[in-house]
């Protein structure tokens, strides 16, 4: 299994990862299991140095045959 491509943004409020350049600096709007939409905004994190390979899943996005809880199935964690 391979990890997703490098995220381009992270939500300042909920920590969701974004992959669409068009949504940078807009409201996140992610929902977590029936909750209200997040009111946070996307922060640009598009440099390779902004991310580290996930130590839990070794960058695959999967741990013990399930979605990795550490990196949210992306294979990446924020470097800072």
Q: What is the pLDDT of residues 14-38, one digit of tens each?
A: 888 998 888 887 888 887 767 788 8
∠ at Cα 27 (62, 12), nearest 5°? 60
Per-residue pLDDT tens for 39-75? 899 999 988 899 999 999 999 999 999 999 999 899 9
Answer for the pair 59, 68: CB distance below 8 angstroms, yes or no.
no
Evaluate whether 46 touches 78 at the Cβ level (below 8 Å).
Answer: no
Q: pTM for the full model?
A: 0.77
Taking Cα atoms as reference points, which of 66, 75, 20 lies closest to residue 44?
A: 20
């Amino acid at each position: 299994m391979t990890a997703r491509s490098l995220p381009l943004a992270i939500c300042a409020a909920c920590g969701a990862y974004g992959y669409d350049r068009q949504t940078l600096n807009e409201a996140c709007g992610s929902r977590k299991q029936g909750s209200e939409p997040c009111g946070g905004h996307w922060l640009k994190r598009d440099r390779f140095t902004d991310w580290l390979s996930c130590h839990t899943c070794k960058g695959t996005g999967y741990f013990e045959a399930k979605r990795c809880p550490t990196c949210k199935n992306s294979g990446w964690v924020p470097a800072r």
